[in-house]
């Protein structure tokens, strides 16, 4: 078995430009929670890269347009691409709209992967990168290599040689502290990990060290999961004669919905989409589908969705067959469970409060008095934190800062936790009038390991937190 990774870095950019045509040719980026997730080719010359904070990206490129990453719309647009992969293989795992893994077997795998990549590129009109290897980890980084537009193949037995050249940042599960410890040991690439003694690596990093050794050999232990097409249930009804009566059509759909509802109840699954196909007299088939507002496990919501789909078809000929399909099956209902509420919100508020206090008392006896802390006992916001500030919240509190040889901050301790500086976004100097004298201070705007921005200022040997935006 071989694993092919298809990577389309400009796919989500093309989806947004198809909806907003005025963005063609303009630097564009899509952000998720303030961090860039996709960047157009026009923004790359300015130094804008995925993983950069949105505020820092705008500082690099003033004409950059930043839109929110619409995961639902991008996945909907990627469905035809995933259907093409499903024609060639029964094991397709879409990881994101940009990345998809496909498992292949046989002697002609390479020509098939090349033809598939060419077919997808001709349909979506963007470059498609493909990597072919024995493991998902190697296939992914082969596709993301410099040879764009070509299928990069890593032969069996050469996984360790290929992984040895990959930088340490390819191990995405490593946090900043572990990565810095490895760099102090001289580890810059995965090949450097293989040269470390296995006993020392395990003693210092435990399970993380074992995972690193496996990645250095090109092994990840992950199989391609058959996630596409999603599981579905289908129920059909063939009429003995042509049916034009609306009541008979509704009765047929009701029977199909009841059959689907009973199957979902037995398997304890929920359907998130419903599709209806009607075969007209003469053989023409019409199909409509919709996403449900809430996952359904019974016949009633499925039947209501079927009636809505039937109304959209506007049938002009009799019907000979109807087929109802419940798709996107899963075990989650999408409804949040009521905490400590056995009577489904029927109890009085003081009764629920008494039940909550009893549960908290049990947990504190079992796990210690500090195991569970209510929100009322947590630190309250000070008046200075409620002031508005362009970055987010203004603050004024002392810091413990560790700097490098040049005096730039590496990490600092604030509000009960240590924040590592991932990148210094900006540095400037300010002068304030204090007690009949001018005081100079240096202000650093830094991006921390949690993705937030902080402004910290140094006055002499003292450091203070000036503002933060989590």
395 within some domain: yes
Residues 180, 199 within the same domain: yes
Instruction: Give residue 434's pLDDT.
Output: 55
Residues 298 and 352 in one domain: no
> pLDDT tens digit string along 104-128?
998 899 999 999 999 999 999 999 9
* Residue 16 sits in the same domain as residue 93: yes
What pLDDT score was predicted for residue 334? 60
Burial of 438 (0-12, 13-18, 19+ CB in 10 A): exposed
Residue 56's CB: how many other CB atoms inside 10 A? 18
Could you tell me the CATH number of the domain that includes residue 105? 3.30.70.270
- Asked if residue 92 lies in contact with residue 86, where contact means CB atoms within 8 angstroms, the answer is yes
Q: pLDDT confidence of 432, banded at 50, 70, 90?
A: low
> Which helix (H) or strand (E) is 283 found in, with range?
none
Element (H, E) at 370: none
340 has pLDDT over 60: no
Query: Would 53 be classed as within a structural domain?
Result: yes
CA-based nearest residue to 324, from 309, 339, 335: 309
Count other Cβ atoms within 10 Å, centred on residue 198: 11
Domain harbouring 179, CATH code: 1.10.150.20
Tokens of 189: 């690439």
CATH number reported for the structural domain that contains residue 244 in this entry: 3.30.1490.100
pLDDT digits (tens, 9 = 90+) for 341-383: 455 445 555 666 777 778 888 887 777 776 776 665 544 444 4
- Looking at per-residue confidence, does 347 or 71 come out higher? 71
Q: What is the mean pLDDT of residues 78-107?
A: 94
Strands, E, within 134-246: which ranges? 151-153, 233-243
- For residue 464, what are the CA distances in angstroms to 84, 273, 414, 450? 56, 53, 10, 19
pLDDT at 206 over 90: no
Confidence (pLDDT) at 207: 83
Q: What is the mean pLDDT of residues 233-239?
A: 95
**Of 133, 153, 173, which residue is a domain's last?**
153
88 and 103 within one domain: yes
User: CB neighbours (10 Å) of residue 221?
Assistant: 10
Same structural domain for residues 340 and 267? no
Ranges 161-170, 287-296, 372-381, 449-458: which has the least confidence: 372-381
Residues 165 and 295 in one domain: no
Is position 415 within any domain? yes
What's the pLDDT score for residue 385? 42
Average pLDDT for residues 133-137, to the nearest whole number? Answer: 95
Q: Which two tokens stand for residue 206?
A: 């435990």
Instruction: Report the run of H or E that residue 206 belongs to, with start and end.
Output: none
> CA 152 → CA 5, 195, 379, 446, distances in Å?
10, 26, 54, 38
Query: Is 223 within a domain?
Result: no
* Angle subtended at Cα 33 by Cα 395 and Cα 400, rounded to the nearest 5 degrees: 35
Residue 10 shares a structural domain with residue 67: yes
- Confidence band, pLDDT 50/70/90 cuts, at residue 324: very high
Q: Does the pLDDT of residue 338 top 50, yes or no? A: no
Nearest-angstrom CA–CA distance, 166 and 466: 39
Q: Average per-residue pLDDT in the chain?
A: 86
The pLDDT, as a whole number, for residue 381 is: 46
Question: Which pLDDT score is estimated for 224?
Answer: 94
| 369-398 burial: b if 16+ Cβ within 10 Å, else e | eeeeeeeeeeeeeeeebeeeeeebebbeee
Same domain, 344 and 319: no
What H or E segment, with its residue span, contains residue 249?
helix 246-267
pLDDT at position 377 is: 55
Answer yes or no: do 45 and 149 share one domain.
Answer: yes
pLDDT at 416: 74
- Given a cut of 80, whether residue 314 has pLDDT beyond it is yes
Q: What number of residues does the chain have?
A: 470
226 occurs within a structural domain: no
Tell me whether the omega of the peptide bond preceding residue 229 falls within 30 degrees of 0, making it cis: yes
- Shared domain for 323 and 445, answered yes or no, is no
The arrangement of strands across the sheet holding 35-39 comes to 35-39, 28-32, 65-68
Q: What are φ and ψ of residue 46, in 5° steps?
A: -85, 0
Domain boundary among 120, 135, 153: 153
Lowest mean pLDDT among 126-135, 208-217, 222-231, 386-395: 386-395
pLDDT (average), residues 223-240: 92
> Are 307 and 282 members of one domain?
yes
426 within some domain: yes
More confident call, 371 vs 164: 164
Within-domain flag for 227: no
Q: Is the pLDDT of residue 444 over 70?
A: yes
Distance CA 300, CA 313 (A): 21
The boundaries of the domain holding residue 351 are 335-377
User: How far apart, in whole angstroms, are the C-alpha atoms of residue 209 and residue 224?
Assistant: 24
Is 311 inside any structural domain?
Answer: yes
271-297 mean pLDDT: 92
The pair phi, psi for residue 391, each rounded to 5°, is: -75, -30
pLDDT over threshold 80, residue 53: yes
Number of domains, the chain = 5
Grade residue 435 by pLDDT with cuts at 50, 70 and 90. Answer: low
Residue 26 DSSP label: S
196 has a pLDDT exceeding 80: yes
Alpha-carbon separation of residue 76 from 70, 170, 272, 309, 429 (angstroms): 10, 29, 14, 19, 49
pLDDT at 204 over 90: no
Share of the chain above pLDDT 70, in %: 89
42 and 117 within one domain? yes
């Amino acid at each position: 078995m071989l694993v092919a990774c298809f990577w389309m870095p400009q796919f989500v950019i093309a989806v947004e430009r198809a909806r907003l045509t005025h963005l063609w040719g303009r630097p564009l980026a899509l952000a998720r929670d303030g961090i860039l997730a996709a960047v157009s080719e026009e923004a790359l010359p300015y130094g804008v890269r995925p993983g950069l904070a949105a505020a820092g990206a705008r500082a690099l490129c003033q004409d950059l347009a930043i839109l929110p990453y619409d995961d639902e719309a991008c996945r909907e647009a990627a469905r035809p691409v995933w259907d093409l992969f499903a024609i060639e293989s029964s094991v397709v795992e879409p990881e994101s709209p940009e990345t998809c893994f496909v498992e292949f077997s046989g002697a002609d795998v390479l020509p098939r992967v090349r033809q598939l990549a060419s077919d997808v590129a001709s349909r979506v009109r963007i470059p498609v990168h493909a990597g072919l290897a024995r493991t998902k980890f190697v296939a992914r980084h082969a596709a993301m290599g410099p040879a764009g537009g070509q299928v990069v193949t890593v032969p069996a037995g050469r996984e360790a040689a290929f992984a040895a050249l990959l930088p340490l940042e390819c191990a995405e599960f490593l946090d900043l502290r572990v990565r810095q410890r490895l760099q102090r040991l001289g580890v810059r690439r995965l090949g450097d990990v293989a040269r470390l003694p296995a006993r020392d690596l395990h003693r210092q990093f435990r399970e993380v060290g074992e995972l690193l050794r496996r990645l250095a050999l090109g092994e990840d232990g992950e199989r391609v999961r058959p996630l596409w097409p999603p599981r579905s249930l289908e129920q059909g009804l063939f009429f003995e004669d042509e049916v034009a009566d609306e009541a008979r059509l509704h009765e047929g759909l009701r029977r199909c919905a009841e059959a689907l509802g009973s199957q979902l109840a037995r398997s304890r699954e929920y359907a998130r989409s419903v599709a209806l196909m009607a075969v007209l007299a003469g053989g023409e088939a019409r199909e409509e589908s919709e996403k449900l507002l809430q996952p359904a496990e019974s016949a009633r919501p499925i039947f209501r969705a079927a009636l809505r789909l039937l109304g959209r078809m506007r049938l002009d000929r009799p019907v000979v067959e109807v087929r109802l399909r419940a798709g996107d099956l899963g075990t989650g209902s999408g409804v949040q469970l009521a905490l400590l509420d056995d009577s489904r919100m029927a109890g009085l508020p003081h009764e629920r409060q008494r039940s909550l206090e009893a549960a908290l008392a049990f947990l504190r006896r079992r796990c210690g008095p500090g195991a569970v802390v209510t929100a009322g006992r947590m630190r309250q916001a000070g008046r200075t934190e409620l002031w508005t500030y362009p970055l987010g919240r203004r603050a004024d509190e002392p810091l413990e800062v560790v700097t490098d040889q040049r005096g730039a901050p590496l990490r600092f301790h604030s509000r009960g936790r240590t924040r590592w500086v991932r990148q210094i976004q900006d540095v400037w100097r300010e002068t304030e009038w204090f007690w009949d004298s001018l005081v100079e201070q240096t202000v650093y705007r830094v991006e921390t390991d949690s993705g937030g921005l902080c402004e910290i200022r140094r006055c002499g040997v003292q450091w203070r937190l000036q503002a933060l935006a989590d």
